[in-house]
Amino acid sequence: MLDQKDIEKLIEVFATKEDLKEATENLATKGDINKLLAAVDTYAQKADTYFQEMVALAHKVDRLESWILQVAEKVGINLKA
């Protein structure tokens, strides 16, 4: 027959209701973490697109500035300070 000591050893091995409840709460947290990671990934993609657009815009402005300086030089206006 099992005595109290044996029963306590068995309880230590098997999950209790509290253990299962805690585990299910942690699963909900993991779902939240996945949502957060998806949101961060979406933001990172948008930021990357924005930075690429800014690089392209800066290149365009530099090109237009050089054209303006070339036109100014041809007509005799000094724009360089």
Q: pLDDT digit string (tens) for 30-80?
A: 778 888 899 999 999 999 999 999 999 999 999 999 999 999 999 999 887
2 CA to centre of own chain: 55
Please give the radius of gyration of the chain, using alpha carbons only, rounded to the nearest integer.
Answer: 34
Measured CA to CA, the distance from residue 37 to residue 8 in angstroms comes to 41
Asked whether residue 11 is assigned to any structural domain, the reply reads: no
Measured CA to CA, the distance from residue 10 to residue 19 in angstroms comes to 15
Asked whether residue 58 is assigned to any structural domain, the reply reads: yes
Asked whether residue 13 is assigned to any structural domain, the reply reads: no
The tally of domains found in the chain comes to 1
Asked whether residue 46 is assigned to any structural domain, the reply reads: yes
Q: Which domain holds residue 39?
A: 18-75
Asked whether residue 42 is assigned to any structural domain, the reply reads: yes
Find out whether 33 and 40 touch, Cβ atoms under 8 Å. Answer: no
Asked whether residue 56 is assigned to any structural domain, the reply reads: yes
pLDDT score of 77: 92
Asked whether residue 59 is assigned to any structural domain, the reply reads: yes
